[in-house]
Amino acid sequence: MTGIDLTAELLDEAVARPGIGAGALLERARRLDPLRPLSEVEQIVTTVRRRADGLAALAPALDAPDVDEVMVSADGVWVERAGVVERLRLDLSRVEVDVVVERILKPLGLRVDPSSPMIDARLPDGSRVNVVVPPLCPDGPVVTIRRFADRRVRLVEFCPDPEVEAFVVDRVRRRSSILVVGGTGAGKTTLLNALAGSIDPGERVITVEDTAELRLRLPHVVRLEARPANAEGVGAVPLGALLRNALRMRPDRLVVGEVRGAEAFDLLLALNTGHDGSMATCHAVSAATGLERLALLATMGRPGLDPALVRHQVATGIDSVAVVRRTAEGRRLVELADVVDDGGLPVAEVVWAG
């Protein structure tokens, strides 16, 4: 038999028969293409078994210590290194991408299909994974893996000026409630980790996240993670419910990984009921727009909520805003602002800009 794509044929066989051994694959390969050199067939079998293992197909990307993000789509495999996106010499077939998705989600008790075509989850190593499948992405599944390095990022890496670093540390130690804002991939979570390094080790800190990403190096940290609905669509525990429960757990500070929905109102209630010194992040490009977005998110899912009340809660609950941005020099703190209450309106007064 000539002209056969032996790798594709064997990969289909390996996916259809999980756990198939190298001997069985080699035997099938010899039947399909008896004239191909044995050494070449053995190499193909090795490649197929690695790729059929799912995540092993992404090993060149996932094993690289300097990769922050791995992105798989119909047009190939892309990675982000130090803020720069590049394409790898690694092309996965549609079958291989399907296997990657299955190998990621099955151990987590999750699945995606046309009726539930997107999902966020956390891998055992702490990395965050997002999967979207057709019909939302007609060209095929899209997998995005955000990796988290064990290396501790210090605050000085965000603000090399010692005076600025001292200013920020002072805000944390004076128990200012801080909102960290920035764009996607700007380093909001990493900056939050660095800020938390200035918290008094004697304090009890409770982190609340959709997907656990924070790794606070403090002796008394309780981590809470929201839970999505299971494959049957039940059992979800949203971020807002976790925030309300965290208030019953005697926190000295709350640290919320990312606010992106109606849970913003629960955060504002917490900040206005004595839980000063807490921190959170949200997507925004400046301190002023960060405050506006927080107020907008707080009204989501709460019909009839008075916008003036929400703005007042923002004005009295948030003390400072830190803006982080990806620059040519790396991820940097580019703006600091204090929040003042101007007749019930939150106003961001910039105290430093880099």
Read off the pLDDT of residues 290-315 as tens digits, 9 standing for 90 and up.
999 999 999 987 888 899 999 999 99
pLDDT average, residue stretch 33-59:
78
pLDDT over 70, % of the chain: 93
Q: Are 323 and 352 in contact (CB under 8 A)?
A: no
- Global pTM exceeds 0.75: no
Give yes or no for residue 195 having a pLDDT over 60: yes
Instruction: Write down the architecture of domain 57-146 according to CATH.
Output: 2-Layer Sandwich (3.30)
User: Beta strands 178-182 and 320-327: pairing type?
Assistant: parallel
Kindly give the interhelix angle for 263-271 and 307-317, rounded to the nearest 10 degrees. 50
Q: Check pLDDT > 70 for residue 231.
A: no
pLDDT on residue 1: 44
pLDDT higher than 90, residue 180 = yes
CATH superfamily, domain 155-353, is P-loop containing nucleotide triphosphate hydrolases (3.40.50.300)
Cβ–Cβ under 8 Å, residues 244 and 123: no
* pLDDT value, residue 10: 86
pLDDT single digits (tens) 149-170:
555 778 999 998 999 999 999 9
Q: How confident is the model at residue 52 (pLDDT cuts 50, 70, 90)?
A: low
Contacts of 122 (CB under 8 A, 6+ apart): 108, 128, 129, 211, 212, 225
Res 244: pLDDT: 94
Angle, CA of 251, 266 and 173, to the nearest 5°: 40
Q: For the chain, what is the mean pLDDT? A: 88
Quickly count: other Cβ atoms within 10 Å of residue 199's Cβ.
22
What's the CA gap between 105 and 103, in Å, rounded? 6
Give the start-to-end residue ranges of the domains of the chain. Answer: 6-52, 57-146, 155-353
Cβ atoms 299, 344 nearer than 8 A: no
Residue type at position 331: R
Model confidence over 242-275: pLDDT tens digits? 999 999 999 999 999 999 998 999 999 999 988 9
List pLDDT tens digits, range 212-228. Answer: 888 898 999 999 999 87
Can you give the pLDDT at residue 147? 81
Give CA–CA dist 120/211, Å, rounded.
8
More confident residue, 249 or 233: 249
